[in-house]
Structure 1
Amino acid sequence: MDQLDALTLAMVSGKGGVGKTTLSCGFARRWAHQFPGDRVLLLSTDPAHSLGDVLNILVHDTPQPMPDLPNLQVRSLDAQALLQAFKTRYGQTLELLVERGSFVQGEDLTPVWNLNWPGLDELMSLLEIQRILRDGEADRVVVDMAPSGHTLSLFRLMDFLEELLQALELFQENHRVIQRSLTGRYTPDEADATLAEMTADLHAGRHLLQDATQTACLVVAIPEPMSLMETERLLRSLAELHISCRALFVNHSLSATAADPNDEIGATRLLEQQHLLSKFQFFAGDKPVFLMPQQRIEPIGGSALDALIQQVVPLMVSPSSPAPRVTTIALPKKISPSFEDFIAAGRRLVIVGGKGGVGKTTVAGAIAWGMAQRHPEAAVRVISIDPAHSLGDALAYQLGHQPTAITANLSAQEVSATHMLDQFRNDYLWELAAMMSGETAPDDALQIAYRPEAWRRIVAQALPGIDEMLALISVMELLESGEQQLIVLDTAPTGHLLRFLEMPVALGDWLGWIFKLWIKYQDVAGRVDLMGRLRSLRQRVMQAQKKLTDPTYTEFVGVTLAQAAVAAESARLLHSLTDKGVIQRYIVHNCYEPGQNLVEPAFDALTLIRLARLPRVFPSDCRYSPAPLGQVQLAADLIFL
């Protein structure tokens, strides 16, 4: 890994649950050991922070040194605290600029800072990483990123910020034109200085992210088919964004010398791994591929992480490894208790959630498959609302925004944020942008900001963090239609799942603020029809909130593994759900092996569903489809009576 030591910023990402946090912690500790004179900073941008679980220390927003490595500091970013700091520095000036580009007075904009912002975690994280490196607070920075879908959202923020600054520049240009027309001259003010500063910071940040000599994304994967497919998509997206990927790390790799010849499933996994590693090597191209060996004991704490990093080796594999073939294998048995019949119990919505990589997608697919098989008269749909969709991978179907029939009564879809945003713009945002711009001035010289151009530039962007809001609206519309008797949601990992569950309240608050503005300025704003449609949207959102917290309507199913860091995050999720009024009655212990127990006391009141590790290769004469769909079918048999 010496070739990575020239970097100053290493961003670690990949599919949820592949070991991003483990590699981030181990790699940061390696740098701290290798360069004792450098200040190394380890950051987490994932809303569901796990650094403390892996390092076995308490981690907060304030950087703190590792006890055994004082030159390594660890920090979990607090988006709300960063927003307040941002408001203190730029708030008044930004309110002034928006005031200059709309009919709204500055005092009306102050409440916006207290609303729940979509994309807040990504936006504040990006700005803070730029600030840390600009101010020289660290010599080397390792960032434990959110799973791949939201990592890409963070990188794409650069384009959004650039368009936003250009829109603010139009607002300021309108002010300049007015001043010149009234006084014959213009004197730059604080807003000009702020725009210049923010633009320079943006350009410097973009240069930093795209400078392959000092910045790179380290991609983590595991030798499983779904991880391979998502990794290939991530590598392609990084190349499109001009973000360098310097290396690929394949975690949980098996050793042929340590394989148990009597373990049929283990032997099959080893054969499959060799086949998949050749594909990882192909997708990586000229990038090095490193193997992180499977550990018998979960690597928690500094010593275990240091030992793991010392075992990382370059991949040496033949590109012609054949796909495994199996003639006989013992399938896992059903373990009591099982799920109840959700349709018979009157449920309309089942939400499957948990930390990335625990098997949410397989469990969601299995619940949908099992209910559809048991109730052939009922229409069942399974929907992915994770920006990094894996549902199609799990079902072995090419899915998109439009539903695809899997069986006669089971359909599946992967919600497209792009499709939903286009619809949302047409339904509300274009007209809202026109309203915010105010009436058009008669003088052409004064039309710069009083026509919708600047606002349309903002609305035309892929708004950061809007995925959760659009997913809510998509699910809401489907529930309202009554076309499906049961909807099963495959959600994003924990942090962004919680954002989805918070979205009804957040969207309701935003709409409430817009209504207050309209009431105050209705003589200028007009748009009575738009306000009527937005009121209807708010009522529908509030109804969705009631349904999410109604245990007779919505069932939340958590998925976890017998790993300390995973179980700890699952317990935190349970507490967060309770705080939000969402009832969780079930927890799925995925990849269960005899003798394993979940030691989290928080799970004691839940019904524990044990789902054994599923084979990834099936005999040709088996009644199940080939994997991965066969895994979903088998899991459905195992989790229902």
Structure 2
Amino acid sequence: MRLSRRMNQKSTTVTISTAHPLPGFLGDEGLRLLLFGGKGGVGKTTCAAAAALHLAAKHPAASYLLVSTDPAHSLLDSLSGGALSQNLALREINPQDSLARFRARHQQHLHTIALRGTFLDEADITQLLDLSMPGLDELMALLEIVAWVKEARYACILVDTAPAGHTLRLLGLPELMSKWLVVLDTMLAKHRFMVNLFSKRYTKDSVDIYLEERTADLRYLWTLLQSPAQCRFVPVLLAERLSVHVTRRMLVELSSLQIPVRELVVNRLLASNPECPLCTVRVATQTTLIAAIQRTFPDNEPWGLPLCLEETLGMQRLSALWARLRPLDTWQHLSSAPASKLLAAVENPAYLPASSMRLLLFAGKGGVGKTTLACASALRLAEEWQGKEILLVSIDPAHSLSACMNRQIGPNEVRLCCGLSAIEFDPESDYTQLKQLYAEEVASVFDRLSGQTHVHIEFDQEVIERLMDTAPPGLDEMLAITRIVELLDLERYDLIILDTAPTGHLLRFLEMPELIEAWLKTFFGIFLKYREMFRLPKITQAMVELSKKVKQFRRVLTDPERAALMAVTIPTQMAYEETSDLVAACERLQVAVPVLFVNMVTPAASCPTCSALRRGELLVLQRYQKAFQTQSLSIVYRQESVEPERLGSLGRSLYKGMNSNQPVQHLVEHD
């Protein structure tokens, strides 16, 4: 895990000055776990870091831990080189390091359980345990956090989580862990039975105690996560339509998991300025959505944070954050006067993709506008490519296509307009079908074996049947790849546009072909080794097809004539750092990145607010221009609340060609 690199040796003294009331998550005694979550780009990292600094300064005698579970870590970037106080530690979880520690701590017991309870030998088990499976990052993060809570070294652990979809998967992991423990216990059942059969007495050994301890850990975790006195999940959102939509869905899931949520933090609220058209549009939109937030979340306590004119980086700015927090109802004085519509403006529009292109991925940090630009691009290409068919696909666990297009889009393809359809993948449905196929084949195998002479084969059958329950939480990425290749094979669509998950999880998706090939190689070897005893022809065939599709996906993805990643970012320092990581990873994976859209850039204006924002953005834009010289750099000016009916206009502005609005401003060169 990353520790406090780039930090000074001397700690920074933090002074708290908040005379006004603060929300409970900053004042309630007894909270041991505080999680900040929400849609990407809403300010989770900022709020988590600011809360940690606040609590550590308020209680200097207590120790605190600030943790990041987002694969694309940004806590250190947020702190911007400042040194933490002695009572505050920071850890950015590295799943590979966590997995290595987990194996070192648990591998011997897992080996023993598997050898006692399956037909696999030690070599098979070693191969399986050595696999790097998708989804292990969420599991390792959760196990690390549970261990730290149990140590009771920290008064409270504050967690900067991954964007909404993957955070919900993280919080759903206790259920998966429970299934794993059942499988392990089932493996031991046969061993216990045989010992009782021959010795008439079974005595618990270290392996039984190990399972009992893990089961107790799971009960402890559930008790902690569901305890309002000890745990709090704090959703962070913006007064923007997509952000409210994702938060609503997230709160439904949190409620079903019985994870306590009391407060909401609505970030980046703007003060009224009738002299500025851009500010007027933003304020009007925010005013409408503030009322919607209060109606939509009546059981939660909403708080508002104003827009900071300079990026909230560094110890001093983070420490001052909560002094600006106010109850959300104090923001209702904002003007709700009708606002003039702003024209979409883009400097240096990108070239339209070549007609040979089969796959476009819109990718970037959470909250940079990937979904909006993917939808706008799909509409533009459908308009431009008459007679061709385009499919817009969401592979983000927190789907936003429906909200962006204002159409109900689900697991079945929906026609949006001439030449354009859309779909939001449902990996749960695909996984259910895969499990059903597996269960049917296992049942047929043991029906055949039951007539032969085998001792207590029902134990082996239960173990094998339950093995599918141990599939990791990242299986959806694997299934998404197969669905994409199937769609490409059907040749019903000339182009597939992917609205992807935020950077950290997208990179795992791009690396998935290599992981799947290693996984398939291991399982093929085991099936081949035991083919005389344990034949699963349908599952084997499904795995052969999966292997073919993965290789096909890899070939398309790395062919610049057929696939490209359209990077989307915003003019902030944290987004710049994450975009640099994304582009470097794509170079390593041989994925073409021809275009970089710098979105949400503030246009030149006499308004003091816009001018202050613009000054900071210009410095970051110059860094983009210097660092990304091999990409076409398109600057997309801020348009508040791009409504569905205006996506077409935005799409025409994004690309050069017929009907394209040519830019009228030159942000960097002539400002």
Query: TM-score with structure 2 length normalisation?
Result: 0.88
What is residue 402 of structure 2 aligned with on the other side? 392
What is residue 639 of structure 2 aligned with on the other side? 614
Once residues 269 and 391 of structure 2 are traced to their aligned partners in structure 1, the CA distance between those partners, rounded to angstroms, is 35
Counterpart contact for 1:437–1:449, Cα < 8 Å: no
What is residue 665 of structure 2 aligned with on the other side? none
Q: Following superposition of structure 1 onto structure 2, how do residues 48-87 of structure 1 map, counting pairs within 5 Å?
A: 48-57=72-81, 67-87=83-103
What is residue 338 of structure 2 aligned with on the other side? 325
Counterpart contact for 2:344–2:650, Cα < 8 Å: no
Runs of at least 5 residues in structure 2 that lack an aligned partner in the other structure:
1-21, 604-613, 657-671
Q: Using a 3 Å threshold, how does the CA distance of structure 1 residues 436 and 347 change in structure 2: closer, same or farther?
A: farther
Matched pairs, number: 616
Once residues 89 and 613 of structure 1 are traced to their aligned partners in structure 2, the CA distance between those partners, rounded to angstroms, is 50
What is residue 411 of structure 2 aligned with on the other side? 401
**What is the aligned-residue identity percentage?**
32
Counterpart contact for 1:589–1:611, Cα < 8 Å: yes
What is residue 574 of structure 2 aligned with on the other side? 565
Equivalent AA in structure 1 for residue 650 of structure 2? A
Q: Using a 3 Å threshold, how does the CA distance of structure 1 residues 283 and 462 change in structure 2: closer, same or farther?
A: farther
Counterpart contact for 1:274–1:317, Cα < 8 Å: no
What is residue 390 of structure 2 aligned with on the other side? 380
- Which one of the candidate residues 61, 71, 95 is aligned to 1:47? 71
Give the SS at the match of 2:228.
Answer: coil
Counterpart contact for 1:282–1:319, Cα < 8 Å: no
Give the SS at the match of 1:511.
Answer: helix
What is residue 48 of structure 2 aligned with on the other side? 24
Equivalent AA in structure 2 for residue 511 of structure 1? L
Q: Using a 3 Å threshold, how does the CA distance of structure 1 residues 456 and 463 change in structure 2: closer, same or farther?
A: farther
Deviation at 1:445, TM superposition (A): 7.8
Equivalent AA in structure 1 for residue 651 of structure 2? A
Deviation at 1:172, TM superposition (A): 0.6
What is the alpha-carbon root mean square deviation over aligned residues?
2.3
Q: Using a 3 Å threshold, how does the CA distance of structure 1 residues 456 and 518 change in structure 2: closer, same or farther?
A: closer
What is residue 512 of structure 1 aligned with on the other side? 521
Query: TM-score with structure 1 length normalisation?
Result: 0.91
What is residue 310 of structure 1 aligned with on the other side? 323
What is residue 298 of structure 1 aligned with on the other side? 311
What is residue 227 of structure 1 aligned with on the other side? 243
Deviation at 1:221, TM superposition (A): 0.2
- Which one of the candidate residues 587, 592, 616 is aligned to 2:596? 587
Q: Following superposition of structure 1 onto structure 2, how do residues 414-433 of structure 1 map, counting pairs within 5 Å?
A: 414-427=424-437, 431=441
Counterpart contact for 1:268–1:324, Cα < 8 Å: no
Q: Using a 3 Å threshold, how does the CA distance of structure 1 residues 333 and 68 change in structure 2: closer, same or farther?
A: closer
Q: Following superposition of structure 1 onto structure 2, how do residues 225-264 of structure 1 map, counting pairs within 5 Å?
A: 225-256=241-272, 259=273, 261-264=274-277
- Which one of the candidate residues 218, 243, 261 is aligned to 1:202? 218
Counterpart contact for 1:223–1:277, Cα < 8 Å: yes
Deviations 1:518-551 (A, max 9, x none): 2222222223454344223212211111111111
Q: Using a 3 Å threshold, how does the CA distance of structure 1 residues 333 and 532 change in structure 2: closer, same or farther?
A: closer
- Which one of the candidate residues 612, 618, 636 is aligned to 2:651? 636
Deviation at 1:179, TM superposition (A): 1.4
Deviation at 1:114, TM superposition (A): 3.1
Once residues 500 and 54 of structure 1 are traced to their aligned partners in structure 2, the CA distance between those partners, rounded to angstroms, is 26
Q: Using a 3 Å threshold, how does the CA distance of structure 1 residues 430 and 386 change in structure 2: closer, same or farther?
A: farther
Deviation at 1:105, TM superposition (A): 1.0
Once residues 179 and 79 of structure 1 are traced to their aligned partners in structure 2, the CA distance between those partners, rounded to angstroms, is 38
- Which one of the candidate residues 493, 512, 515 is aligned to 2:502? 493
Once residues 404 and 322 of structure 1 are traced to their aligned partners in structure 2, the CA distance between those partners, rounded to angstroms, is 38
What is residue 587 of structure 2 aligned with on the other side? 578
Q: Using a 3 Å threshold, how does the CA distance of structure 1 residues 298 and 305 change in structure 2: closer, same or farther?
A: same
What is residue 559 of structure 2 aligned with on the other side? 550
Q: Following superposition of structure 1 onto structure 2, how do residues 337-348 of structure 1 map, counting pairs within 5 Å?
A: 338-344=349-355, 346-348=356-358
Deviations 1:468-507 (A, max 9, x none): 1121111111111111000000000001101111111111
Equivalent AA in structure 2 for residue 581 of structure 1? Q
What is residue 279 of structure 1 aligned with on the other side? 292
Deviation at 1:630, TM superposition (A): 2.6
Q: Following superposition of structure 1 onto structure 2, how do residues 437-516 of structure 1 map, counting pairs within 5 Å?
A: 446-451=456-461, 453-460=462-469, 463-516=472-525
Deviation at 1:190, TM superposition (A): 2.2
- 1:527 matched to 2:553? The reply is no
Once residues 74 and 233 of structure 1 are traced to their aligned partners in structure 2, the CA distance between those partners, rounded to angstroms, is 30
Q: Using a 3 Å threshold, how does the CA distance of structure 1 residues 455 and 321 change in structure 2: closer, same or farther?
A: farther
Deviation at 1:397, TM superposition (A): 0.6
Counterpart contact for 1:567–1:598, Cα < 8 Å: no
Counterpart contact for 1:249–1:291, Cα < 8 Å: yes
Once residues 189 and 401 of structure 1 are traced to their aligned partners in structure 2, the CA distance between those partners, rounded to angstroms, is 48
Deviation at 1:639, TM superposition (A): 0.8
Deviations 1:326-360 (A, max 9, x none): 4x434133422x2223252x100000100000000
Moved over 4 A (4+): 317-324, 427-430, 432-445, 460-463
Between 1:350-359 and 1:515-524, the stretch displaced more is 515-524
Q: Using a 3 Å threshold, how does the CA distance of structure 1 residues 133 and 533 change in structure 2: closer, same or farther?
A: closer
Deviation at 1:313, TM superposition (A): 1.3
What is residue 5 of structure 2 aligned with on the other side? none
Once residues 502 and 366 of structure 1 are traced to their aligned partners in structure 2, the CA distance between those partners, rounded to angstroms, is 27
Equivalent AA in structure 1 for residue 583 of structure 2? L
